Amino acid sequence: MPKPQAPPPPAPRLSVVVPVHNVAPYLEECLTSLAAQTMPALDVVLVDDGSTDDSPRIAREFTRRDARFRYVRQPNAGLSAARNTGVAHTAPGTEYLAFADSDDVLAPHAYARLTASLDASGSDFASGNVWRLDPGGRRQAWQYRWLTADRIGTHITRDPRLSTDRVAWNKVFRRSFWDRHGFTFPVGRLYEDTPVVIPAHHLADAVDVLRDHVYYWRVREGSITRLRTDVRGVRDRIAACEDVSGFLAGARPDQRRHYDTSCLRDDFVYFLEGLPMGGPAYRAAFMTGARAFLERAGADVTRGLPPDLRVKWQLVREDRLAELVEVLAFEQANGVGTYTVRGGRVSYPGVGALTGRAARVRRGELPVVARLSAVERQPDGTLRLTGFAYVRNAGPGRLVLALAQEHGTRRLRRFPTRTISLPLATDNAAQELHDYDRSGFETTLDPARLGEGEWTVGVVLAGTGAGGGTIRRAAIRPLGRSEDQPRVYEVADGKRLVAAYREGRLVLSVRRYGARVEAYRAVEAPLVETHGAEAARLADADAGVGVGEGMDAGEGVNAGTCTSTGTDGRAGTGTDESTGTGTAPAPAPATIELLGRLHGPAPHPTHLSLHHPPSGTEFSFPVRERRDRAGFAVRVPLAGLTGVPPAPHIAPRGVEPPDADRWEARFRYPDGSLGAVPVALDLVPGRALGRLCLRADAAGNLAVELTRRPLADTVAWAADGTLTVAGTWGADDVRDAAARLVLRHTVLREEVAVPVARDGVRFRATVPPETTASLVEGRWSTLLGDFPVRLLTSAGAALPRQHTLAGRGFTAARRHGDRLELVAGSPLAEAERGAYRQRGLRTAYHPDRRRHGPLSDTVLFAGGDSPRAVLAELGGRDSGLTPLWVTGDRQRAAPPGAAPVEPYSRGWYEALATARHIVTDDHLPEWFERRPGQTVVQTWHGTPLGRIGTDLTGTPHADHRRIEALPRLARQWSLLVSPSRWATPVLRRALSYDGEVLEAGNPANDPLFAPGRDRVRARVRAALGAGPDARVVLYAPTYRTHLPLGPGHPATHRFDPAGLDLVELERKLGEDHLVLVRRHARVAGVAPGGRDVSAHPTTSGLLLAADVLVTDYSGLICGFVHTGRPMLFHTYDLAHYRDTARGFYSDFEALAPGPLLTDTGAVAEALREPETVAAAHADAYAAFRTAFCDLDDGRAAARVVDRLTTGC
């Protein structure tokens, strides 16, 4: 019998052009997202632009299995040419046209939503919101932060913010509009979207802009548009803007100046800020192109810009490049828009006088900063607000009063304030020029004085100094994201105040409510106590709706078909937190009953509505009043909720799925209106309902969700600093039974874990004080299993709570509404924190102290293994010198025999100024100057196999400002320790050093020659739990320059996700192998598998313990080679590292002392018989040791100490 034929695809309405060029790792995901569009009537044209990887195979495979996909191949000609080719090959007669980049991902509803909008509006094209996709997950693309509501039939002349909507791939164009204007992308240029999209905005009669996220824009480090200091990039960006400006000169001359100004505010700023890092060719290209743009645009083009930008463009006009670079470097350290005002003009440190109109600060132009740092409820019910307010760059000013203005009216409420000293204000400003300590304020707000409605809270400030003579109003904003949380206060019977932030402004909402949920209980099955005795008390008082009588199942649901919720058929258990004991599991109920109070005179609800947004399902259940009219009850059969399938998680890899399937709860009132469901703030979530959780959300309203996520109802510090986190958890599988509470640094991605005790659905975790004290400064999110720990509303309302350990503050706080986080404070004293106080310390010790204070008989050690080896050698001698050790994030404790010194503390500044000797393995601060009689020994951090310093000049990731600083930095050294004769000329040239060199060998390698090295090996292996027959594999890759951690962390990098698959490696090797991971000192985060031993105090101990080293291009090769044991090289990105990222000093492929392996499978295979594999490279192994490690003999540190103490 013939096989039935699949129905033909519907006639296409939309053509999608997808250029493809060497994107094999991402192409499958991109095309899958296109195939899964909820709008099936597609014509997808894949234009292979001369790919040389596996992309053509992937693309052809899609055309074979989906008739809507067609494949076109052309010689490589660039993105624009590929797009133009694709348009020419689209199916005739399609109504709409779209573009997608082949490394990005479409949301499933993208094209259905955009075309539906165009069908309804008749606009010429539609644009949707965009997610930015990077290794950290997804986040809102900055260009569309303003897009919080749909704008149908709008235009760029009515909404100038559309000037940031300049990409083609989040749009659907009406094909007739595209063809009528003959749009084509400019061939051979980067930033090809702007010359098409911005003219399209102006030529359109109307456009639709949708707030829905339709597109995931993948940001790949190293992609052509991400190389900030690329000469071609800056030239093409300026040319693109000139093209648009030229178009507007003819088509919309009234819009040209606005567009030119927007380029100076936005398009060019990315490249402007790259000037300090850029090389001579980049700087010349930028200055030439930007000056020509400014001269053509005219003197008034900068008038609407803020003062700091006007000054920068003035420096460009006047060709004052050196001063411009100084301004930009200063802003990198102090924040954009930080300066002083002298004589009514902007002034920057180290920059000559700025004349002309651009530098003049106009009245009211300096912004007011007003931040709220704390809200406390007083015993009398009033709220005490603490914060600070000042005119930026002008000083603290004089706070007149706080006020609240009712929305939609001119009604004001004034509240007196008092000025307080608040050092937090200066620290929060993160700049070194201004002292804002006296800008603190306190005000007491009485909710009784606020009528029902919404009130925006602000301050009135009288400016002083540069801001003098002005009275300024400003809304109060949150201090930071952790403080941007709703706070709920019951202010009277049936009246509630919610303090929250709307678009960043503090808003107080005062509302009366007619009903509030107080408790809930099971109807058909026993339910553990969820709210003290409240459920039973309310039920006992109810003479009309007792258990099992007087109520029906509710509209839309047949109670007889209800089934229990949860996956194991069990209800959860409850505990008394004080004892930690639990009850036996009970059967899950088929129906729950919500019990609450009624309040007058507000209207009373008639129904409870539950709406499931992903599916559109909605149920309505009647609200039945008690006979005494003081309370109510609502019955909710659970089968209706649990029977609705959760929304599928359709998103790119790396985007976390939602941790709950939520139902929107609303009360329906007699007039048909809907409103939130107020709930008692301390309503405990009932895990007896399996994964169904009823609780108060962050705004104090009922949240109904199916979830396994943990909810903490207890967050408490003990007197000794132990932190207890306890609550309920709906998890129910074997994997979750052994879960740990994980603290994860929100920036560095470091992790610390503690065990969790389980008792039924209760969990309890304790974080010991020594664990807390070891945390790196910053914010630490909390997770249980795979889920963020959420806070019960009443528990969240009690936060933040702080505890001091070893002089540091640690704060349990909430973020993102109800997520628990731990904030680890600075190890510095209050008088040492922040850029302003740091500048004061620098001034006090450099140059003042170094001029007048005597040198002390101390040695300051800073760095890693080589300084540690020199310290150990010095400790064995009677030198009369006191050693000091600079601690760090990974090593909070100093080595034996040395006193710890915290970086950037007063003691650290003093030690740099007065220590007779300094031993370091990296650069000292740029402001450091060596004193007469002071010795600075630079050991450097190993043998450089990859290029460093001046030898990086001209590479894409070179920091040329840092390179320019190298001669001055190197002049501060008295002695450079060279690890080998080969390294001496390399280090001299690369570090711009022309002083004395001691060819001593690498002190870090001395322990590899020590007589007791076998004992060290056995001790370290025992500590790691490695048995005598276990094969210990040490994986120690170097960092990747093209994978920076992010803004503010230029010297820290991420693990390369394309690197060794450690989970797969462990699986292939089996239990007789122990895989250790040593992160490079410049790599943050958690190793993606294996056992992370990055915190081990010495690298040499790990090298001795290892049987095999797996690395790539790391300098550790030059240490491990002395063990004689096998080395394997995972060189998956050899061509990129060699030709683009850094490059090598020698032919690494020819000289590597082991096999070069490109994938995890090959590494695993080689590790099964590493000695056999290594034997084939024995000659290379010996030659490498001779060439690069000829001076190592175990005496390097002794030679350094000899030179330090005797001068010879």
Q: Are 1002 and 1192 in contact (CB under 8 A)?
A: yes
Q: In this model, does residue 273 exceed pLDDT 80?
A: yes
pLDDT band at 816 (very low <50, low <70, confident <90, very high): confident
Contacts of 587 (CB under 8 A, 6+ apart): 525, 526, 564, 569, 570, 571
> What H or E segment, with its residue span, contains residue 257?
helix 253-262
Q: Are 397 and 467 in contact (CB under 8 A)?
A: yes
More confident residue, 532 or 476: 476
Q: In this model, does residue 457 exceed pLDDT 70?
A: yes
| Buried-exposed string 215-246: b where 16+ CB fall within 10 A, e elsewhere | bbbbebbeeeeebbbbbebbbbbbbbbbbbbe
Share of the chain above pLDDT 90, in %: 66
Q: Which CATH number fits domain 14-220: 3.30.70.370, 2.20.28.270, 3.90.1150.10, 3.90.550.10?
A: 3.90.550.10
The per-residue pLDDT for 241 is 96
**If 0-12 CB within 10 Å is exposed, 13-18 middle and 19+ buried, where does residue 44 land?**
buried
More confident residue, 661 or 211: 211
Cα separation, 53 vs 616, whole angstroms: 44
Contacts of 324 (CB under 8 A, 6+ apart): 275, 312, 315, 316
Q: What is the mean pLDDT of residues 237-248?
A: 96
Q: What is the mean pLDDT of residues 612-632?
A: 90
Residues β-bridged to residue 43: 15
Residues β-bridged to residue 843: none
What is the tens place of the pLDDT at every residue in 1074-1087?
999 999 888 888 88
Q: What is the mean pLDDT of residues 216-234?
A: 74
The per-residue pLDDT for 614 is 83
What is the tens place of the pLDDT at every residue in 1168-1189?
999 898 899 999 999 999 999 9
Residues β-bridged to residue 172: 98, 126
Q: What is the mean pLDDT of residues 135-139?
A: 80
Residue 39 DSSP code: -
Average pLDDT, the chain: 88
Q: Which of 288-292, 466-470, 580-584, 1045-1049 has the highest mean pLDDT?
A: 288-292
Residues β-bridged to residue 462: 398, 471
Q: Are 123 and 204 in contact (CB under 8 A)?
A: yes
Q: What is the mean pLDDT of residues 770-785?
A: 92
SS3 320: coil
Cα separation, 602 vs 493, whole angstroms: 11
Q: Are 305 and 321 in contact (CB under 8 A)?
A: no
Total residue length of the chain: 1208
CA-based nearest residue to 480, from 776, 136, 826, 823: 823
CATH number of 1010-1191: 3.40.50.12580
Q: What would the two tokens of residue 115 be?
A: 């075309």
SS3 920: strand
Q: What is the mean pLDDT of residues 143-168?
A: 94
Q: In this model, does residue 565 exceed pLDDT 50?
A: no
The per-residue pLDDT for 563 is 26
Q: What would the two tokens of residue 972 be?
A: 């501060």
CA 136 to chain centre: 6
Q: What is the mean pLDDT of residues 972-977?
A: 98
> What H or E segment, with its residue span, contains residue 856?
strand 856-862
Residue 322: φ, ψ to 5°: -60, -45
Q: In this model, does residue 893 exceed pLDDT 50?
A: yes
Q: What is the mean pLDDT of residues 71-86?
A: 97
CA-based nearest residue to 325, from 269, 263, 272: 272
Pairing of strands 440-445, 453-462: unpaired
The per-residue pLDDT for 545 is 36
CA-based nearest residue to 496, from 456, 452, 536, 533: 452
Residue 645 DSSP code: P
Contacts of 177 (CB under 8 A, 6+ apart): 124, 125, 200, 203, 204
N- to C-terminal Cα separation, the chain: 96
More confident residue, 935 or 223: 935
Which stretch of 210-219, 587-596, 679-688, 899-908 has the lowest confidence by average pLDDT?
A: 679-688
Place of tokens 């039973």: 536
Q: What is the mean pLDDT of residues 843-855?
A: 78
SS3 1084: coil
CA-based nearest residue to 133, from 104, 108, 109, 111: 104
pLDDT band at 274 (very low <50, low <70, confident <90, very high): very high
Cα separation, 1127 vs 1184, whole angstroms: 12
Q: Are 823 and 780 in contact (CB under 8 A)?
A: yes
CATH number of 830-1005: 3.40.50.11820
The per-residue pLDDT for 546 is 31
Q: Which CA distances in Å does 293 have to 164, 186, 288, 313?
A: 19, 20, 9, 11
Q: Are 917 and 862 in contact (CB under 8 A)?
A: no
Q: In sequence order, what DSSP letters do the residues of 1033-1064 get, joined into one string?
A: EEE-----TT-EEETTEEEEEPPPTTS--HHH
The per-residue pLDDT for 427 is 94
Q: Which CATH number fits domain 711-824: 2.60.40, 3.30.70, 3.30.1370, 3.40.720?
A: 2.60.40
Q: In this model, does residue 1194 exceed pLDDT 70?
A: yes
Which stretch of 372-386, 552-566, 620-634 has the lowest confidence by average pLDDT?
A: 552-566
CA-based nearest residue to 1005, from 1123, 838, 856: 1123
Q: In this model, does residue 388 exceed pLDDT 70?
A: yes
Q: What is the mean pLDDT of residues 30-41?
A: 95
Q: In this model, does residue 646 exceed pLDDT 70?
A: yes
The per-residue pLDDT for 997 is 97
Cα separation, 370 vs 441, whole angstroms: 10
Left (φ > 0), alpha (ψ -120 to 50) or beta: where does 798 sit?
Answer: alpha
Cα separation, 813 vs 819, whole angstroms: 8
What is the tens place of the pLDDT at every residue in 301-355?
999 999 999 999 999 999 999 999 999 999 999 999 999 999 899 999 988 888 8
